[in-house]
Amino acid sequence: PLHFPGKVESRQFLQTGIEQYRGWLNSKQMALNPFSGMGKSRFFADHADFFDKTTAVPANEDTVFHTDYSWLGNGNRVFEVRLTPEAKVFERETHLQIRVHRFATLNHKIIESVYETDLRIGDKPNHQLQFSLQLDDNYRYAILGKIIAGACRFSHISISCGGNLHLSSTAQPAIAHTNNGNH
């Protein structure tokens, strides 16, 4: 039989690191970059300088933000999306669909939508959505926002995730449903 020196020690080292990271995920709130999955967004005011006639995002592109797919451990996680619309580029009846997509760590080709809710962007200067999801160790997750009606641009977008956090009593309630296949 083959013998690999240090295999047992390496496995223990990796397991200890994973358990420490899992403990951190369960006790802290982690910021997720809203643009890491797409680079730049024509819907974010700070990115407006990136777009001209040669670099413009097609008008049919409706993705406002898309985080990278992250391993977030298992258990219940509270997600928070905070948005500040820019007043000069805003329609009263703007609706965003907030989604959570996932793929199995060992099979990235099949992406499924595990959470969707519609968020009306109204007259308030700030919008906050909190929701909780039961996550699975074997998957990586991303949070997306898509415009489904109206138009607007945002001066601030932040997304965070944490374990063992409580939903805020002032957060907008969300109604979730599963939708496999409509990404």
CATH number of the domain residue 125 falls in? 2.60.120
Answer whether residue 37 is part of any domain: yes
Provide the domain limits for residue 111.
7-163
Q: DSSP alpha helices (H): ranges in the chain?
A: 7-27
The stretches in the chain having pLDDT less than 70 are: 37-61, 87-92, 164-183
Answer whether residue 177 is part of any domain: no
Answer whether residue 60 is part of any domain: yes
Instruction: Give residue 40's pLDDT.
Output: 56
Encoding tokens for residue 120? 């009306």
Q: Which residues contact 101 (CB under 8 A, 6 or more apart)?
A: 69, 111, 112, 113, 114, 141, 142, 144, 183
Answer whether residue 94 is part of any domain: yes
Answer whether residue 64 is part of any domain: yes
Could you give the number of structural domains in the chain?
Answer: 1
CA 28/CA 40 separation, integer angstroms: 27
